[in-house]
Amino acid sequence: MIVLVLIIISLFFIINLYNKPFIDIKKSNPELEVTAQEILDDYLADEYSANEKYVDNLIQIKGEIAEISFDKGISIITLKDRSGFSSIICHMLPETNLNVLKLKKGSQITIKGVCTGYLFDIMMVRCILTNSNFNEK
Amino acid sequence: MKNRIIVILLLLMSIQLFSQERYLTKEGYISFFSHSLVEDIKADNYQVLSVIDKKTGEIAIQLLMKSFMFKKALMQEHFNQSYVESYKYPKATFKGYIQNLKELDVQNETVEIKGILSLHGKEKEISTIANIQILKDQINLSGHFMVEVADFDIKIPIVVRNNIAKTIKITFDLQHKPYK
C-alpha cells in the first residue's frame, strides 16, 4: 500500500516536472532593465560576455521602433540603434499582435522578453509589450 | 565620344551592381523533428539569418541554438544544457553553394545545395535537394534533409535514448530579399 502511494506521488512529480511550464513573461519581473543602446553597446564591445549577461534572461528593453513586420502570424518589432548598423529584433508572442498594430514606427516603447543571442542583430524571443506603452497615451 | 564614356560608365556600374547581388533574410525558418516510439519532438526557429550571393551561388546560414522553441520547457532546457551545449556552442552555421544557380531562370525548380554544416563544434558535409523559387525581388529556398545525431558528438543519456531518434529531420524555409 505504502509503495503504491509512493509510486503515485513520484509519478505525480515526474509528470509535473515533464510538463513544467515556460516562465510567464507577463507576470515575471525582468532580471535586467536596459535601453536599446546599452545592450547593443555591450554586444558590440564583447559578444561573449554580453551573452553571459543577457542570454536566457528575462530583460526589459526601452528603445525606438525602427520597423514593424508580420511574418507567418508572428509580429516582429525591430528596435534601432543610433549608428544604424545593428538592431534588436524582437519576436513577439501572438497575444501581443493586436497591441502591436497600434504602434508606429519611430515611437519609444518598452519590450520585455528573452534574449537568445546575437547574429549581426540581437535576437529576442517571446516578447511582450509592457503596460507602460499604453498608459502614457 | 561623350556617349561612349557614358555607356562604358554605365556598363561598369552595372557590373558592380551584379557583383553585389546579395539576397538576405533575418527571419528564415528552420525546424527539426525527431520521431520515436515514445514521443515526437519538434522545435522551431524563426530567427535564421541566411545570405545568398546570386552571382556565385554561395549561401551562408547562421542560427542561434537558443532560438529553437519547443513545446515543453523541460525539453528546451535539456536540449540547450545537455545535448547541444548552447552556452559553449551558441550558433550553428552552414556554408555552401547552390549548384548552377546562374543557369536557373524558370520560376520553380529544384537545386542541389552542398556545403558544410557546423553544429556543437563538429563539421559535416551536407548535400541536399531544395526547391528554389527565383522571383524579381525574392529567392525562396525550401526543403528538408536528415542528419545523424552521432555525427555531431551529441550525447544522449541512456534514460532518454528511446525518446530521441538517431536521425533527425531538418526542415528549412528561407525567403530572401535583396540586400540594400
pLDDT tens string B20-41: 689 999 999 999 999 998 889 9
| C-beta separation of B102 from B134 below 8 A | no
pTM for the predicted model, two decimal places: 0.86
Q: What is the DSSP string of B122-174?
A: EEEEEEEEEEEEEETTEEEEEEEEEEEGGGGT----GGGTTTS-SEEEEEEEE
Q: Is A19 within 8 Å of B66 when comparing Cβ atoms?
A: no
Residue A77 has pLDDT above 90, yes or no: yes
pLDDT of residue A3: 87
Supply the ipTM of this predicted assembly: 0.86
Assign B10 a pLDDT band (cuts: 50, 70, 90). low
**pLDDT tens digit sequence for B47-105:** 999 999 988 999 999 999 999 999 999 999 999 999 999 999 999 999 999 998 877 76
Asked if A19's CB is within 8 angstroms of B47's CB, the reply is no
Q: What is the pLDDT of residues A14-34, one digit of tens each?
A: 888 778 888 888 888 999 999
SS (H, E, C) chain A: CHHHHHHHHHHHHHHHHHCCCCCCCCCCCCCEEEEHHHHHHHHHHCHHHHHHHHECCEEEEEEEEEEEEEECCEEEEEECCCCCCCCEEEEECHHHHHHHHCCCCCCEEEEEEEEEEECCCEEEEEEEECCHHHHCC
Angular region, B122: left φ>0, alpha ψ -120 to 50, beta rest:
beta
Residue-level pLDDT at A74? 86
Which residues of A are less than 8 Å from B91 in CB distance?
117, 119
Q: Nearest CB to B66: which of A19, A89, A117?
A: A117
Give residue A59's pLDDT.
95
Q: Do residues B37 and A93 make contact, with C-beta atoms less than 8 angstroms apart?
A: no
* Cβ atoms of residues B94 and B45 within 8 Å: no
Please give the pLDDT value at position A85.
Answer: 74
Contact A20 B63 (CB under 8 A): no
Tell me which chain A residues have a C-beta less than 8 angstroms from the C-beta of B64.
116-119, 123
**B109: confidence class by pLDDT, cuts 50, 70, 90:** confident
A31 vs B: CB within 8 A = no
pLDDT for residue B15: 46
CA distance A97 to A69: 11
Say if the Cβ atoms of A89 and B47 lie within 8 Å. yes
pLDDT for res A64 = 93
Q: Pairing relation of β-strands B58-64 and B40-53?
A: antiparallel
Q: Is the pLDDT of residue A44 over 70?
A: yes
What is the rounded average pLDDT of the residues A42-48? Answer: 93
CB pairs under 8 A between A and B: 54
Enumerate domains of chain A plus CATH numbers. Answer: 24-135 (2.40.50.140)
With cell 511582450, the residue in question is: A128
As a whole number, mean pLDDT of residues B5-26 equals 64
Question: How many angstroms away from the CA of B21 is the closest CA of chain A?
Answer: 19
Place A137 in a pLDDT band, splitting at 50, 70 and 90: very low
Which sign does the torsion angle of CA A76, A81, A87, A90 carry?
negative
Task: Give the residue carrying C-alpha cell 513577439.
Answer: A92
Average pLDDT (B143-147) is: 96
Give all domains of chain B, ordered by start, each with its CATH number: 22-178 (2.40.128.110)
Which of B173 and A73 is assigned the larger pLDDT?
B173
Q: Contact A123/A115 with Cβ under 8 angstroms?
A: yes
Mean pLDDT of chain A: 89
Measured CA to CA, the distance from residue A22 to residue B25 in angstroms comes to: 28
